[in-house]
Amino acid sequence: MEYAENILGTIGNTPLVKMNKLTAEIDALVLAKYETFNPGNSAKDRMAVKMIEEAEASGLLQPGGTIIEGTSGNTGMGLALVAIIKGYKMICVLSDKQSKEKMDILRAVGSEVVVCPTDVAPEDPRSYYSTSKRLAEETPNSWYVNQYDNPANTQAHYESTGPEIWKQTDGKVTHFVVGVGTGGTISGVAKYLKEQNPNIKIWGIDTYGSVFKKYHETGIFDENEIYSYVTEGIGEDILPKNVDFSLIDGFTKVTDKDAAVYTRRLAKEEGMFLGNSAGAAVKGLLQLKEHFTKDDVVVVLFHDHGSRYVGKMFNDEWMKKMGYIE
Ligand code: PMP
């Protein structure tokens, strides 16, 4: 018999899938690291397990404890699954721009959901950063995960996602392209791949309204770069410790409209029903096309599943209201 001991045993070893139509104008072989095959339907399951295991090992998380995190939904989903299996209580703190589906899904897997306003500064007491920290201080026997600065986030991708990509491409990967939020995915994968072959190029996908690209290019944290945007899961108004800028070769920014349009195109043209940051990633990849040549093997990582966006990017009325389609 071949079975997993529990659902956590199904995390990782996701497939790599060739892109056939949407990236046809790119000469290189483009392969999608398809993270929705994880049980929580996103790459975040990997780091959720790792962060909890590290917190248990260091004594920060005690039996029967409460896990608290500010999360755009996917990390919350991963943490909630681990919490169920290991017997912890889970509280997710979200900003109100996150889709209703994400909130409903978190509640479905037993998490308490606290919603905070999006358009306030991170240091504002109402922000989801401040609220999660306050809840952690007020709740007895609780642990605040802090995926932005928690090194186990990057470590999970260094230990699993990076080696999988290396093995699946038989060491032939030349470029890795991925959306950047906390930075765990890009930094962990980049560290592993560059250790195997320092010539591998790492590209981050950023949003308009986020600080990453400008900071990477100039070393300046420019507050003028910060404004609210629609794309979910990538871009930040802070510099998380998990973004290792020294491992990243460059960033490209994708507009909210392009991210939404390309999320729909992935579903219709590739049969890849994926989340909003996957649309941003594939559009970013196209923006970078002059960097790729015929013999290159470009891996693009798709973080999460389309079901979380049926009320938004996959809804024609929403797309019209946003002015993204006629
Ligand atoms: N896409 C989605 C949908 C996400 O939820 C996240 C995590 N915020 C990312 C991309 C970015 O991944 P990371 O936090 O590892 O940079």
DSSP letter for each residue of 289-314: GGG--TT-EEEEEE-BBGGGGTTTTT
Specify the 3-state DSSP secondary structure of 253: strand
What pLDDT does residue 128 have? Answer: 83
User: Which residue's CA is the nearest one to ligand 1's atom 2?
Assistant: 233
Q: Treating both helix axes as pointing N-terminal to C-terminal, what angle do 256-270 and 276-287 enclose, rounded to 10 degrees?
A: 100
Residue 2 lies in a domain: no
Atom of ligand 1 nearest to the CA of 180: 16
188 with 306, same domain?
A: yes
Atom of ligand 1 nearest to the CA of 278: 1
Is it the case that residue 133 has pLDDT exceeding 90? no
User: Which residue's CA is the nearest one to ligand 1's atom 12?
Assistant: 181
* Ligand 1 center from residue 201 Cα (angstroms): 20
Probe target for ligand 1 pocket from 36, 44, 128, with the most ligand atoms within 8 Å of CB? 44
- SS3 string of 120-153? CCCCCCCCHHHHHHHHHHHCCCEEECCCCCCHHH
Determine whether 44 is an active site residue. yes
Q: What is the percent of the chain with per-residue pLDDT over 70, rounded to a whole number?
A: 100
Residue 233 lies in a domain: yes
Q: Which domain covers residue 125, as residue numbers? A: 43-144
Is it the case that residue 99 has pLDDT exceeding 80? no
Is it the case that residue 72 has pLDDT exceeding 80? no
* Ligand 1 center from residue 2 Cα (angstroms): 32
* Ligand 1 center from residue 251 Cα (angstroms): 15
Domain boundary among 126, 144, 162: 144
Q: Which of 18, 21, 33, 44 is catalytic?
A: 44
Alpha carbons 180 and 43: distance in angstroms, whole number: 12
* Ligand 1 center from residue 1 Cα (angstroms): 35
pLDDT in tens, 194-238: 999 999 999 999 999 999 999 999 999 999 999 999 999 999 999
Residue 185 lies in a domain: yes
User: Which residue's CA is the nearest one to ligand 1's atom 4?
Assistant: 233
Of the candidate ranges 113-122, 177-186, 301-310, the one whose mean pLDDT is the lowest: 113-122
237 with 130, same domain?
A: no
pLDDT in tens, 288-310: 999 999 999 999 999 999 998 99
61 with 19, same domain?
A: no
162 with 112, same domain?
A: no
- Residue pair 300/33 in contact (Cβ under 8 Å)? The answer is yes
* Ligand 1 center from residue 181 Cα (angstroms): 5
Alpha carbons 299 and 169: distance in angstroms, whole number: 9
Cβ < 6 A, ligand 1 pocket: 72, 74, 179-186, 232-234, 275, 277, 303-304
159 with 221, same domain?
A: yes
Length of the chain: 326
